[in-house]
Amino acid sequence: MLPVVILRFSQTEGPGYLGNFLTGKGILWTQINIDAGDDLPDDINGFSGLVLMGGPMSVNDELPWIPDVLNLIRQAVENNIPVLGHCLGGQLMSKALCGSITQNPVKEIGWGGVSKVGQNPAPEWVGDLPSSFEVFQWHGETFSIPPGAERLLESAFCANQAFLLDNIHLGLQCHIEMTAPMIESWCAVGADEIESASASPAVQQPAAMQENMSSRLIELHHVADVLYSKWIQGLKH
């Protein structure tokens, strides 16, 4: 099988648990660090899947690499190469697929619940998950559901938490890739943002984010196992 390519946009927002999951499944993967100036591949057909991680920037910023990433996403979708986006990555997917990125009513930072949309969305993808469960959040913007995609998850503070396109492309607003070192690092790097957004009912303080972190991560990784296991079934051989 060809390797999965993972795009990193910020030094502290790498693949986290996803890297462990892929390695554990014997799936080769390579990481391209956009934040470090790495070049994007010209052709997605050298890879079995495309993953986009998070980042502090906005998809609407005029950054030189954004048009090329959007084109790579479109190329992957056109060639039925599975795409997986986390937070900024999900927003990049939405914009590439004719969606829009706007301010969310409030910032979501820390642990928070999400729920399935309706009675039985995409049962092959989320059927093994409970009707509601906890994920990790860190965003101030939100994506619209792109044309032809199905909305899967929502939260009390953000209506669009996940979408599925063509049964192989998964865009997430939430973070399911978190590890303990990532949470600790984000709390340190994002201290000013946490403080400035502390009035939001969906923003936690660092101590709350790190409380019962081990048990919370076990549950989060169960969610990740379910979604990642389904996503890798579509990888190109």
Give the model confidence (pLDDT) of 125-167 as tens digits. Answer: 999 999 999 999 999 999 999 999 999 999 999 999 999 999 9
Stretches in the chain below the pLDDT threshold 70: none
Q: How far apart are CA 38 and CA 34, in angstroms?
A: 5
Q: How far apart are CA 29 and CA 31, in angstroms?
A: 7
Query: In the CATH scheme, what architecture does the domain 4-232 have?
Result: 3-Layer(aba) Sandwich (3.40)
Tell me the two tokens of residue 222.
């169960």
What's the pLDDT at 119? Answer: 84
Contact yes or no for 55/61 (Cβ under 8 A): no
What's the pLDDT at 58? Answer: 98
Helix axes 213-232, 17-24, angle to 10 degrees: 50
Strand order in the sheet with 49-52: 29-33, 4-8, 49-52, 83-86, 169-172, 162-165, 150-154, 101-116, 132-143
What's the pLDDT at 237? Answer: 82
Strand-pairing partners, residue 44, are none
What's the pLDDT at 145? Answer: 98
Strand-pairing partners, residue 164, are 150, 170
Q: pLDDT (tens digit, 9 = 90+) per residue, 164-173?
A: 999 999 999 9
Q: What letter does residue 45 receive in the DSSP assignment?
A: G
Distance of CA 210 to the CA centre of its chain: 20
Q: What letter does residue 38 receive in the DSSP assignment?
A: P
Q: Comparing C-alpha atoms, which of 127, 147, 137 is closest to residue 204? A: 137
Q: How far apart are CA 89 and CA 106, in angstroms?
A: 19
What's the pLDDT at 236? Answer: 85
List CB contacts of 115: < 8 A, sequence separation 6 or more: 131, 132, 153, 154, 155
User: How many CB atoms lie under 10 A from the CB of residue 80?
Assistant: 11
Rg (the chain; Cα; Å): 16
